[in-house]
Amino acid sequence: MSAVQDLPRAVELVRKLGGRRRVVIEDLRPQIEGGRFAIKRVIGDAVTVEADVFADGHDLVACRLLHRWEGEAEWAYAPMQPVGNDRWRAEFSASTLGTYRYTIEGWVDHIQTWQMDLRKRIAAGQDIAVDVEIGAKLIEQAANRARGADAERLWTWLVNLRHPDMEHRKAAALHEELLEVARRYPDWRFATRYEKELLVTVDREKAIFSAWYELFPRSFGSLRDAGRWLPYVASMGFDVLYLPPIHPVGRAFRKGRNNAASADAEDVGSPWAIGAAEGGHKSLDRELGELDDFRRLIQDARKYGLEIAMDLAYQASADHPYLRDHPEWFRKRPDGTIQYAENPPKKYQDIYPFDFENEYWPTLWDELKSIVDFWIDEGVRIFRVDNPHTKPFPFWEWLIADVRARYPEVIFLAEAFTRPKVMYRLAKLGFSQSYTYFAWRNTKEELTEYFEELTRLDDFFRPNLWPNTPDILTELLQSGGRPAFMIRAVLAATLGASWGIYGPAFELTEHLAREPGSEEYLNSEKYERKTWDLEQPSSLRPFLARINFIRRENIALHRNHLKFHPTDNPMLLCYTKTSSDASNVIATVVNLDPGHKQWGFVHLDLAALQLDFSRPFQAIDLLNDENYTWQGSRNYVELTPETKPAHILRLIRGA
């Protein structure tokens, strides 16, 4: 379409908006995909909003931020302040769980423009009689719009603006305090409001700051035996206890030890092969206990400062009642058999995925949501979602929105080790936290590049960093010995506000792979019960407890904002986190080499850290209980992996 052909549409748009609306609003931030998705915050966070706001000509403009919680009918307002180059900024506090809306309005500020021009005329020695009267009319209009004490003050001001003595009138015209009163009551008729209302999803604190511990309860007896392992997990400072599926396990095509295609009679199978004759996703494995035992576990966990996270795995074993009662929810092969899960060349004969393209998808969606509702009724508020990237995006957006509208405290963690854009899409449409590629980022360059990328996604993507999982035993952990586990723990716990480990494999430094080149554990707990010696002298339990204590005590580590600093040794990684009020500054320096001592100089950006270059400052090593006095940006470090793999330093102004 040519510009001439498009002219009627443009004219109609001007008529719709009003030809006297002169203010333009552009580049409003934050917003995700043009406002398609909500940004994320947690309770107590400030939502800082910026935009370019300007008008034609030389008139001054003003603007304000509008915001309201979903349960409120009226907008609240915050005046926006100029930050240069027609850019404006304001903020509001996200103080309630749920959803907030926000937008901005801008208008030509005739009253301030009048006073600005008046000052110029006075400075030039010009006659200002007419100009003062112009201002008087503007103040009169504002007084008619004002109420209460403000109206009285403006009417009094108007009298002074029309005083017989010109010097008296001039003094009144330049009254700054009264000017600010008048500016509260502009002529709204020609104000421009941004064309969209944008959304903020507000979560509880644990959605961004948490420490997870994964444990297979069947290796520790039953849910009734939780008294044995809840204190153990709590003693290391973790606050989320994540349980792999605790539902009945299918018997048909059950996998044997080490993922063997056939199982012996005593083999327990993979807990992700959900469903048996006794029930499916709304049932418990009878060997673990009954629902009363699960309810007691929820209550007992709270006594230890723990919250139970449940695995949400939308798939079925061959024995799941769904296959009998709803075969239409599964994909059939040409020979009439139901298609089991595959990731060629891998075959998962014990697991059957749902077919989300079948014509009965609405009933499937409703049933899957009812699983979440069932466990919410039993007290669960955190779900770790297995392979969400293998289910449709619209399904997750619908499910999470529905659940959070009723239970805004619910947290969903996306276990999606897949392509970056897919991971980010899942985060945009509602997942509270996300697994990452952290486990495979080892070098200084890899870690710096990756976490600088994640920092740029902070408005919607919240990383949860795991050095290991039951599926992931990286080559570094296989070969790096105990120091490798210590190094990866420090990195995970300080690079991210949320982190987790699969234990007790991690703290006991389990490192044997099933075969060379594999990331699968030898004698994996996914397929058998394990007996763990939790009292091993070499356990990393005290080390992990120390890290989690440091995290809790330092609010700078409660968020994901990072700044990397140069070092002159590629095996030394240095980065800082700073609290929003700059009262808490944490610098972490890590030796990335688990096999050798490394030393060198770190080069801190003191200006960014608000530290005085000319004065010494304290660097208190919270991990190793040591104290250093540093001065200037260049300071020496020496780290030995077996005894001191890292510094976690609190920087304090003044030595």
Q: Which of these ranges, 88-97, 127-136, 411-420, 553-562, has the smallest mean pLDDT?
A: 127-136
The token duo for 104 is: 């901005």
How far is Cα 629 from Cα 617, in angstroms, rounded to an integer? 6
Quick one: average pLDDT of 88-102? 97
**Residues in contact with 326: Cβ distance below 8 Å, sequence separation at least 6, in sequence order:** 360, 363, 364, 367
Topology (CATH level 3) of domain 110-185: Methane Monooxygenase Hydroxylase; Chain G, domain 1 (1.20.58)
Question: Does the structure show a pLDDT above 70 at 17?
Answer: no
Question: Does the structure show a pLDDT above 80 at 6?
Answer: no
Whether the CB-CB separation of 105 and 53 falls below 8 Å is answered with no
Backbone torsions φ then ψ of 434, nearest 5 degrees: -145, 140
pLDDT tens-digit series, residues 271-325? 999 999 999 999 999 999 999 999 999 999 999 999 999 999 999 999 999 999 9
Domain boundaries, the chain: 1-108+192-203, 110-185, 563-653
Backbone torsions φ then ψ of 187, nearest 5 degrees: -80, 105
Shortest CA distance to 55 belongs to which of 19, 112, 14, 106? 106
**Residues in contact with 55: Cβ distance below 8 Å, sequence separation at least 6, in sequence order:** 22, 23, 24, 61, 106, 108
DSSP per-residue codes, 222-260? -GGGHHHHHHHHHHTT--EEEE---SPBP-TT---GGG-
CA torsion 64→68→74→76, rounded to 10°? -40
pLDDT tens-digit series, residues 440-469? 999 999 999 999 999 999 999 999 999 999
What pLDDT is attached to residue 199? 98
Question: Does the structure show a pLDDT above 90 at 212?
Answer: yes
At position 600, the amino acid (one-letter code) is: G
- Tell me, yes or no, if the two domains 1-108+192-203 and 563-653 fold the same way: yes
The token duo for 377 is: 């009724």
pLDDT tens-digit series, residues 47-93? 999 999 999 999 999 999 999 999 899 999 999 999 999 999 999 99
Quick one: average pLDDT of 159-163? 90
- For the chain, the straight-line distance linking the first and the last C-alpha, in angstroms and rounded, comes to 69
How far is Cα 385 from Cα 374, in angstroms, rounded to an integer? 15
What pLDDT is attached to residue 337? 86
Whether the CB-CB separation of 5 and 58 falls below 8 Å is answered with no
Q: What is the CATH number of domain 1-108+192-203?
A: 2.60.40.10
How far is Cα 543 from Cα 571, in angstroms, rounded to an integer? 22
Shortest CA distance to 416 belongs to which of 379, 455, 461? 461
The 3-class secondary structure across 122-173, one letter per residue, is HHCCCCCHHHHHHHHHHHHHHHHHCCHHHHHHHHHHHHHHCCCCHHHHHHHH
- Three-class SS of residue 313? coil
User: Containing H/E element for 602?
Assistant: strand 598-603
The token duo for 395 is: 């399904």
Backbone torsions φ then ψ of 390, nearest 5 degrees: -95, 10
pLDDT tens-digit series, residues 574-622? 999 999 999 999 999 999 999 999 999 999 999 999 998 889 999 999 9
Distance of CA 349 to the CA centre of its chain: 36
> Residue holding tokens 């709590």?
234
What pLDDT is attached to residue 15? 60
Topology (CATH level 3) of domain 563-653: Immunoglobulin-like (2.60.40)
ω into residue 345 within 30 of 0, thus cis?
A: yes
Backbone torsions φ then ψ of 210, nearest 5 degrees: -160, 155
pLDDT exceeding 70 applies to what percent of the chain? Answer: 97
Quick one: average pLDDT of 472-478? 98
What pLDDT is attached to residue 12? 63
Cite the active site residues: 386, 415
pLDDT exceeding 90 applies to what percent of the chain? Answer: 86
User: Containing H/E element for 401?
Assistant: helix 393-406
Order the strands of the 646-653 sheet from edge to edge: 563-565, 572-578, 585-591, 646-653, 617-621, 626-630
Quick one: average pLDDT of 549-559? 98
Burial-class residue 183 by CB neighbours within 10 Å (0-12, 13-18, 19+): middle
Quick one: average pLDDT of 41-51? 97
- Three-class SS of residue 519? coil
